[in-house]
Structure 1
Amino acid sequence: MEDLILNKIIETSNNNITVIDSEGIIVHSNPEHWVNYGMKPGTYKGTSIYDLEKEGLLAPSIGAIVLNEKIKKTILQHTKTDRVIMSTGYPVFDEKEELLFVVSYSHDQTEILELQQQYEKMERKVKGYQTEVEELREKEFEQNGIIARSSAAQHILKTIYNISKTDATVLLLGPSGVGKSTFARILHSHSNRKKEQFIEVNCSTIPEGLFESEIFGYETGAFTGANKQGSEGLIEQADGGTLFLDEIGELPLSMQAKLLKVLQEKKIKRLGGKKERTINFRLVTATNQDLEKMVQEGRFRLDLYYRLNVIPLQIPSLEERKEDISYLVQDCLQKFNSAYNVKKRIHPSTYDVFTNYNWPGNIRELENLMERLILTIEDEVIYPTHLPANFNTFQTNSSFSLDNIEQPLKVTNNLKEILENTEIQIILKALKKCKTTYEMATYLGISQPTVIYKLKKYKNKLDHS
């Protein structure tokens, strides 16, 4: 009776169950189980699993493996019908630890594996698309007139892209020379106002006596020497577009109140005029000063500060964009070589100096230095010795030590060979530690272009090391 019930349970189970005895003879099995192996449905009671294995129907047999090893095992079987079966076998012992039976369960994994393969294929495609997107993003960054390989610069650009379609007021913060005006132009070029005017005003360059007439415009006869037809101011010229007020901290207090009124009412009145004109522009401002401190000192209006400080963006200094330095140098080199019809080159050791220098004048300092070097250095290659004296104080920060070299250096009296062998060992050590040339550059305390140069120089020797 119990045997009858057991047979019925196995035959009707959704799991594919097979029970064999200690000789490998099938005593119970699910009839539908064998269809996966290319066999007709049946119990196959009394059949030897060793015979089925020899015929290639069970490749291999989970029962035979468990009988041999006497422990639980799980395997994948590939059948003649191109199915993939996962089988798990359990040994059954008596009180004397003698093996009596092996109970095995099998599950068809073909569809799951196919789904897994499809997923992996799709994942590879997604990674490929992500790579393409990153490449397009890098091209877009460079096409916008700015090199942004560093995470700091890319973060700012992504933020600018996110807010570009709005009309929110943006305050660009950062030291002199970081390219605030360039970021302001990118913001305008991605905005809904990109087809309209971008008016840039440097508040520090307009004399206070002329500020009102320049910014707000004037009517006929407003002052001695005024144009007879009057003149529209810079704010009016920005109507429909973007007004960029650089060095906003230099805006006279008397003009701050008038600018605040324009921002609040969206109307403007020319100097000497009575008529108010409705105005529509987006305001972007920039400063290298601490406006909060200026507010506390009474040099900047608090209400205007709140109007300007809607979306403050801190533009990173060049020292915070180490990854961009070599690309910026290359960009300047190409630009000035073309402008002055020369073919100057930068020695890899010079890149090291540039990378470790702190650049207090930021991108403007780098551009001015590159132009000066190209115009004044007679040699075709620019070496560290050609740089100004303040560049000589840099120190290379490296996490590498010669004590870390694992392989002994080749014994030789030739100084050139000694230096090359040492350099190769150092590079090999870095290759083991780092995944990218940028990581190697950081690890060795040199620039990324220098790493690439060294890898190419010693390629054959490194391949055989």
Structure 2
Amino acid sequence: MNDQHTWSEDLAILQSLKDDLLVTNTDGIIVRATEKTGEIYGVDTKDLIGKSVYDLEKEGLFTPIVTPMVIKERRKVTVIQTTNKRKKLLVTGIPVFDPNGELIFIVSYSHDVTELINLQHYLQVLEEDIERVKSELDMLRNKHLHADGIIANSEEMKTVIDTALRVAEVDATILLLGESGVGKSHVAKFIHNHSGRAKGPFIEVNCGAIPDALFEAELFGYESGAFTGANPKGKLGLAELASGGTLFLDEVGELSLINQVKLLKLIQERRFFRLVGTKEREADFRLIAATNRDLEAAVSEKTFREDLYFRLNVVPITIPPLRRRTEDILPLIQHFLRQFEQKYKRKRTLDEAVIHRLIYYEWKGNVRELINVIERLVVTSSSPVVTVDLLPAYLNRRYDQPLFDVHENRPLQDILDQVERQVLLKAKRTHKTTVKMAQALGISQPSVVRKLKKHGIT
């Protein structure tokens, strides 16, 4: 059997495989290739014979080439190769030695893994989405966000809601201002629910509750092995969790200067890297920030960055304290009473004296304090009617002393004047104008002006 006939048999066997099989010598010159090889690379197989794989890589037919790796390692090598058609091939190169142990050929074969790699990428994205949804659910379980609207009978609160509805339609950054407990997170949720991102996540971040050293990891997330004690699988950051929805930064005024810089960069660029990550990620969220601090004063005192303040203060909305929303107090009492009746499965009615004390209390802790008091009354009362003896001591204390001593030898008019003065002082603290005072007291505005002058109240 001559060499030509022998080689023809070998060639026939080679072509019968119907698989990609390519043979090069140690110089990288292709000496044999199957028809399938040409199909994969989109060329005629005959045109490959005698070509250098090094030249073909430069021409962009495929990269990387496995031949030099096998020559260097002198063992089987497997790589992922990209073709000029953007296909992904799993290429394996095998060294062929002569009887003396000299390397003479490199045989390589491949499998098209384009779909597998696409599927792997899809599964990775799906896994991240699942992790994001799980994290959102975990966060929501720990939040008590009211989604049934906001009570706004007072003019000031109506203005807040009107403004909130107008700006909800656009993605402008909003800064919610107001004392602690006025309901800034509630208004933020209200804006989110009335925006185009309502179907997306609402991620609330209490900036004052995150330690400085962990803020970056919490906001941007981290890859595996980022630091000791970190989740071995890595973690999605809050900015990533808020993708497609709203990121609400509560107590933003509590951030340290170094973390203010990181937040400013995120707001400006809308891009970030996870901790120790190399892949840049986009931040597609609507930003709402809130604080009970005077940020202008903080800027003057150099404790808050001016550039960050201007970035946050695009649309400022100030939420009034509860003591300036007296028209809202009774509806709020009724709302939270129903809420806790349902939660604890207890039907309760507040005595008139209890309602009177709650309406005229100053509520320095605002709506949050009111919620706590109503919940306390529902859970501690043993009878269907809640009486004043169940009120916290500080709510009853101001009623312990009478406005005047009935045994005092004083003319009736003096006593009435004293009561009138106290009522006027209370109304003046609650309402900004004499018109609103008159409406609340049920008298004319000129009468209010006259009585204020009479009692020397300015």
TM-score by length of 2: 0.54
Shift of 1:282: 0.9
The one of 188, 204, 207 equivalent to 1:203 is 207
User: 1:169 and 2:168 equivalent?
Assistant: no
Shift of 1:234: 0.4
Paired position in structure 1 for 2:442: 443
State the alpha-carbon separation in 2 of the partners of residues 247 and 177 from structure 1. Answer: 12
State the alpha-carbon separation in 2 of the partners of residues 204 and 143 from structure 1. Answer: 24
Distance of aligned partners of 1:258 and 1:143 in 2 relative to their CA distance in 1, 3 Å threshold: closer
Deviations 1:201-241 (A, max 9, x none): 11111122211111111122222233333222100111221
Shift of 1:249: 1.1
User: 1:181 and 2:180 equivalent?
Assistant: no
Paired position in structure 2 for 1:231: 235
Paired position in structure 1 for 2:217: 213
Paired position in structure 1 for 2:387: 383
Shift of 1:345: 0.9
User: 1:369 and 2:368 equivalent?
Assistant: no
SS at match of 1:260: helix
User: 1:260 and 2:230 equivalent?
Assistant: no
Paired position in structure 1 for 2:155: 151
Paired position in structure 2 for 1:460: none
**Pairing 1:310-459 to 2, within 5 Å after superposition:** 310-392=314-396, 393=398, 442-443=441-442
**Pairing 1:41-52 to 2, within 5 Å after superposition:** none
Amino acid at match of 2:249: L
Tell me, yes or no, if the aligned pair for 2:147 and 2:190 is still in contact at 8 Å.
no
SS at match of 2:208: coil
Amino acid at match of 1:171: L
Tell me, yes or no, if the aligned pair for 1:356 and 1:396 is still in contact at 8 Å.
no
Amino acid at match of 1:197: P
Distance of aligned partners of 1:256 and 1:238 in 2 relative to their CA distance in 1, 3 Å threshold: same
SS at match of 2:275: coil
The number of aligned residues is 265
Tell me, yes or no, if the aligned pair for 1:176 and 1:362 is still in contact at 8 Å.
yes
State the alpha-carbon separation in 2 of the partners of residues 381 and 219 from structure 1. Answer: 56
State the alpha-carbon separation in 2 of the partners of residues 439 and 380 from structure 1. Answer: 36
Amino acid at match of 1:217: G
Deviations 1:27-69 (A, max 9, x none): xxxxxxxxxxxxxxxxxxxxxxxxxxxxxxxxxxxxxxxxxxx
Tell me, yes or no, if the aligned pair for 1:196 and 1:240 is still in contact at 8 Å.
yes
Paired position in structure 1 for 2:311: 307
Could you tell which deviates more after superposition, 381-390 or 281-290?
Answer: 381-390
Paired position in structure 2 for 1:275: 279
Amino acid at match of 1:195: K
Shift of 1:379: 3.5
Amino acid at match of 1:352: H
Shift of 1:356: 1.1
State the alpha-carbon separation in 2 of the partners of residues 241 and 353 from structure 1. Answer: 41
State the alpha-carbon separation in 2 of the partners of residues 383 and 282 from structure 1. Answer: 46
State the alpha-carbon separation in 2 of the partners of residues 229 and 340 from structure 1. Answer: 40
Q: Structure 2: where are the runs of 5+ without partners?
A: 1-145, 404-411, 414-436, 444-458
Tell me, yes or no, if the aligned pair for 2:270 and 2:284 is still in contact at 8 Å.
yes
Could you tell which deviates more after superposition, 174-183 or 334-343?
Answer: 334-343
Distance of aligned partners of 1:250 and 1:143 in 2 relative to their CA distance in 1, 3 Å threshold: closer
User: 1:291 and 2:290 equivalent?
Assistant: no
Tell me, yes or no, if the aligned pair for 1:148 and 1:154 is still in contact at 8 Å.
yes
State the alpha-carbon separation in 2 of the partners of residues 228 and 377 from structure 1. Answer: 49
Tell me, yes or no, if the aligned pair for 1:216 and 1:269 is still in contact at 8 Å.
yes
State the alpha-carbon separation in 2 of the partners of residues 172 and 182 from structure 1. Answer: 11
**Pairing 1:7-46 to 2, within 5 Å after superposition:** none
State the alpha-carbon separation in 2 of the partners of residues 228 and 382 from structure 1. Answer: 53
SS at match of 2:320: coil
Amino acid at match of 2:350: I
TM-score by length of 1: 0.54
Shift of 1:386: 2.9
State the alpha-carbon separation in 1 of the partners of residues 265 and 147 from structure 2. Answer: 37
Paired position in structure 1 for 2:194: 190
- Please give the root-mean-square deviation of Cα atoms over the aligned residues, in Å: 2.5
SS at match of 2:442: helix
Shift of 1:389: 2.7
Paired position in structure 2 for 1:12: none
Stretches of 4+ moved more than 4 A in 1? 394-397, 438-441
